[in-house]
Amino acid sequence: MSAVRLRYHTIEFGELDIHLRTLRDNQQFSDDGGEAEALGISSAFWPLFGIVWDSGRVLASQMVCQEVAGLRILEVGCGIGLASLVLNHRHADITATDYHPEAGAFLAQNVLLNQGAEIPFTRTGWADAATDLGCFDLIIGSDLLYERGHVEMLAAFIEQHAKASCKVILVDPGRGQQGRFTRLMAGLGYRHSQHQPHDVEQLAQPFRGQILQYLR
């Protein structure tokens, strides 16, 4: 990773500070071994995991007050893992997943920066063969509905790892796939609600997305 520029910064959630080691910007790229290319990740998409997006900040903010006692929680497509770091600070039972080959290493470094307990991480795609992740009470994610072809895969992945009674929280910036995804989730027995986030004062631009909740 020596070819990329990094940034160290802190994101505040009220009295909670989360320290982050991220990519400097979305112009960074390093794939000397060709691992990302072999996974189908182009140079244009390579850096997207490693910076903080507004949807990720909104999800992390939701996790500051989310009820977590006794719940097994999965973050899907964690990217830099901001929401997982917030939950880890709260001593929640959090597991993170992402498809990117560098996401796990960045998450581990950020856990050390925040002096937290190790966060279990699995590198997996939504269409990959079944993993040993098991099932969860709460599944979360941000900006996951960005391509039409991913909607069915995401719903199937969630169903694979959801307990019979499960809550799903997704932050969607409004990429046009929410309706199809909600219909698929309804077919799996989930009730749907959505609302705009309120704690968005720290974002550089107005957030026009929605917090989607699915409950079964």
pLDDT at 199 over 80: no
Query: What distance in Å separates the CA atoms of residue 13 and residue 201, rounded to the nearest whole number?
Result: 11
pLDDT at 177 over 90: yes
Can you give the CATH number for the domain in which 169 is found? 3.40.50.150
Does residue 130 lie in a domain region? yes
**What does the pLDDT read at residue 201?**
73
Does residue 150 lie in a domain region? yes
Return the higher-pLDDT residue of 80 and 146: 80
**What does the pLDDT read at residue 106?**
98
Q: Is the dihedral of CA 129, 214, 111, 116 positive or negative?
A: negative
**What does the pLDDT read at residue 209?**
93
State the pTM of this model. 0.96
pLDDT at 2 over 70: no
Whole-number percent of the chain with pLDDT over 70: 99
Question: Which tens digit of pLDDT belongs to each residue from 25-48?
Answer: 999 999 989 999 999 999 999 999
Domain count, the chain: 1
pLDDT at 183 over 80: yes
Query: What distance in Å separates the CA atoms of residue 191 and residue 168, rounded to the nearest whole number?
Result: 10
Question: SS3 letters for 79-113?
Answer: CCCHHHHHHHHCCCEEEEEECCCCHHHHHHHHHHH
Average pLDDT over residues 127-131: 80
Return the higher-pLDDT residue of 139 and 131: 139
**What does the pLDDT read at residue 1?**
47
Does residue 1 lie in a domain region? no
Query: What distance in Å separates the CA atoms of residue 58 and residue 136, rounded to the nearest whole number?
Result: 21
List strand residue ranges (DSSP E) for 2-150, in order.
6-13, 16-23, 72-75, 93-98, 121-123, 136-142
Does residue 148 lie in a domain region? yes
Does residue 79 lie in a domain region? yes
pLDDT at 54 over 90: yes
Do 76 and 139 touch, CB atoms closer than 8 A? yes
Average model confidence (pLDDT) for the chain? 95
Does residue 128 lie in a domain region? yes
Does residue 167 lie in a domain region? yes
**What does the pLDDT read at residue 200?**
78
Does residue 138 lie in a domain region? yes
pLDDT at 124 over 50: yes
| Domain assignment of residue 132, given as a range | 6-215
